[in-house]
């Protein structure tokens, strides 16, 4: 069982301690000990400020979590797109090689055809007169 405080509870604890260390002297300075109502008002104001700060911290934490999830989703999508791009590049390279091989084969076939046509033309020509 993990007994270490979570980052959130540590932040809350530090925030509470920080606020107490800041607000305690202020409350004592602003409200004399004999005037309980002023002291209560100072404490309430301090608690309200602490509550606002805590809500802001929670909102920031939620925004960070959402940003982290979005970042992870984007990385997964990027990796999938990169894999797809690699597959497409391989297909394009293969198609390019096949195209070059087909051009060479066509050139050889054209050369053979031209040679065969020339041979037929040669046989149909009249022999030269002497």
pLDDT in tens, 66-82: 999 999 999 999 999 99
DSSP for the chain?
A: ---SPPHHHHHHHHHHHHHHHHHHHHHHHHS-TT-HHHHHHHHHHHHHHHHHHHHHHHHHHHHHHHHHHHHHHHHHHHHHHHHHHHHHHHHHHHHHHHHHHHHHHHHHHHHHHHHHHHHHHHHHSPPPP-
Whether residue 101 is predicted with pLDDT greater than 70 in this model: the reply is: yes
Mean pLDDT of 4-17: 61
Q: Is the pTM of this model over 0.75?
A: no
pLDDT in tens, 12-66: 666 666 655 665 555 555 545 457 788 888 999 999 999 999 999 999 999 999 9
């Amino acid at each position: 069982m993990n007994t270490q405080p979570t980052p959130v509870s540590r932040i809350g604890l530090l925030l509470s301690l920080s606020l107490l260390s800041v607000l305690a002297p202020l409350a004592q300075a602003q409200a004399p000990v004999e005037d309980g109502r002023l002291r209560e008002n100072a404490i309430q104001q301090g608690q309200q400020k602490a509550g606002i700060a805590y809500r802001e911290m929670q909102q920031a934490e939620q925004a960070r979590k959402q940003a982290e999830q979005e970042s992870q989703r984007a990385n997964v999508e990027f990796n999938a797109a990169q894999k797809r791009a690699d597959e497409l590049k391989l297909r394009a390279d293969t198609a390019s090689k096949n195209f070059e091989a087909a051009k060479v084969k066509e050139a050889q076939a054209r050369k053979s055809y031209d040679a065969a046509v020339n041979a037929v033309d040669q046989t149909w020509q009249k022999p030269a007169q002497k």
